[in-house]
Amino acid sequence: MHLKISFVLLLGFVTSFVFSQVALAHGENIKDNKHNHRINVQALNSPVKQNTTAEFSLELPMGFLPGKAEYEIKNLDPSKKHKSKDQKVTLISQNDKWLAQIPTDSLELGNFKIEFEVKSAKSWVQIIKDFIKNLIRGKDNKHDHSNHGKYKGEADFAISAGPVLPPDPGEAGMATLEGIDSDNDGVRDDVQRWIVLNHGGSAKAVAALMQAAKISQTSLLDVNDRAKSIETSYVLFRAIDCLQYILGIDEGFKLYKQMDSQILNTDARIRSEIKANANFNGQTVMARDELKTDCDFDPDILPN
């Protein structure tokens, strides 16, 4: 009788120990859960064109077999309280990473944060079995990522009314005065990315900035023909007028100067800007009352 009681107590102790150790490896420990088992999540196609699919790359540890990932989306605009309910998505294996494809139909234009929680596809029974096998083999369960219960990660992304962005040209984009314009829209790829990534929440602001960026680029290339350079400068002033119509006089000019600093990111481009200003020296610019007509698009048909 005593032997039976001792065996039951021993079995209870072993079971309790196994469950507690599995819980630690499984990521359920309250103290550690806040800090451990974090993963890198990268937005692959942000900003995302409205009503298309946002794609995210999740870096899960080798050996971890994910089940469906739960995700929640929050609007980063403090004036808006959009927060999606927890939803699930099946992850797609891609080499050593996992791809999550998230529909954006219910999201408006703006900036968002997505938070993922990825749980193991293993059942608790299988996790306990694997844990005991590791104990028998002398394997450290803390380093067996296949037995961790869940991983969490997050990433910011934007929803834009504009086109999908071209890739970042990097150093190659600064090798020449013209730079790289891979989609042939008249705006350098690096400048286009700056516009949409920073102001993609407003279709009107994007359109006005793209108009100004296109003329700014032309002004850098026309400096060796003074007459043409002067004409381009007048067109640029009208593009700035459009931006001021959209955002207001002060804010519009401030935003143009911010973009101009992105455009003039090499010595050659700065020198070209100086020459364009010298070409325009002595010219007169008349104040215009109706700034809206300086836009090469109709602001009234854009959503915001």
What is the pLDDT confidence band of residue 214, given thresholds at 50, 70 and 90? very high
Q: Whole-angstrom Cα distance, residue 242 to residue 240?
A: 5
The reply to whether 1 falls in a domain is no
Q: Is residue 130 part of a domain?
A: yes
**β-sheet bridge partners, residue 74:** 83, 113
Residue 81 has pLDDT above 60, yes or no: yes
Kindly provide the residue ranges of all beta strands, DSSP E only, lying in 81-201, ordered along the sequence. Answer: 87-89, 92-94, 97-103, 110-120, 150-160
The reported pTM is 0.51
290 half-sphere exposure, CB direction, 13 A CA radius: 1
Tell which residue, 215, 269, 207, has the closest CA to residue 237.
Answer: 215
Q: What is the pLDDT of residue 33?
A: 46
Q: 93 and 52, same structural domain?
A: yes
pLDDT at 62: 79
User: What is the residue-averaged pLDDT of the chain?
Assistant: 80
Report which secondary-structure segment, H or E, holds 198: helix 189-199
* Residue 29 banded pLDDT, cuts 50, 70, 90: very low
Which of 92, 126, 160 terminates a domain? The answer is 160
My answer on whether 108 and 217 are in the same domain is: no
* Residue type at position 16: S
At 48 the pLDDT is 83
**Number of domains forming the structure of the chain:** 2
- Are 68 and 107 within one domain? yes
Is 97 in contact with 103 (CB distance < 8 Å)?
Answer: no
Choice among 23-27, 184-188, 296-300 with the minimum mean pLDDT:
23-27
**Predicted local confidence at residue 27, as pLDDT:** 43
Mean pLDDT throughout 28-35?
Answer: 40
Domain CATH code at residue 43 = 2.60.40.10
Whether residues 24 and 138 share a domain: the answer is yes
In terms of Cα–Cα distance, which of 246, 233, 250 is closest to 285?
233
Most confident of 4-18, 49-63, 74-88, 161-175: 49-63
Q: In the prediction, which pLDDT does 111 show?
A: 86
For residues 230 and 280, give the distance between their C-alpha atoms in angstroms, rounded to a whole number.
5
Run of H or E residues at 178: none
Q: Clarify whether residues 126 and 32 are in a common domain.
A: yes
Q: Are 117 and 182 part of one and the same domain?
A: no
> pLDDT tier at 24 (50, 70, 90 boundaries)?
very low
Query: What is the reported pLDDT for 266?
Result: 93
Asked if 279 contacts 223 with a C-beta cutoff of 8 angstroms, the reply is yes
Query: Which of 142, 160, 178 is the last residue before a domain boundary?
Result: 160
Distance CA 219, CA 201 (A): 28
Average pLDDT over residues 212-239: 92
Percent of the chain predicted with pLDDT > 70:
76
The pLDDT value recorded for residue 65 is: 81
Please tell me the least confidently modeled range out of 44-53, 78-87, 127-136, 255-264. 127-136
The answer, yes or no, to whether residue 97 has pLDDT greater than 80, is: yes
Q: Which domain holds residue 23?
A: 10-160
Edge-first strand listing for the sheet containing 53-58: 41-43, 53-58, 97-103, 92-94
- Of 177 and 124, more confident: 177
Q: Which residues of 263-296 are buried (b: 16+ CB within 10 A; e: fewer)?
A: bbbeeebeebbebbeebbeeeeeeeeeebeebbe
* Pair of tokens at residue 19: 């469950």
Handedness of CA 235, 236, 239, 240 (dihedral sign): negative
Encoded tokens for 76: 């980063």
Say if 4 falls within a structural domain: no
Q: What are the structure tokens assigned to 107, written together?
A: 């999201």
User: Does residue 165 form part of some domain?
Assistant: no
Judge if 154 and 184 occupy the same domain.
Answer: no
**Cα gap 149→23, rounded to integer Å:** 8
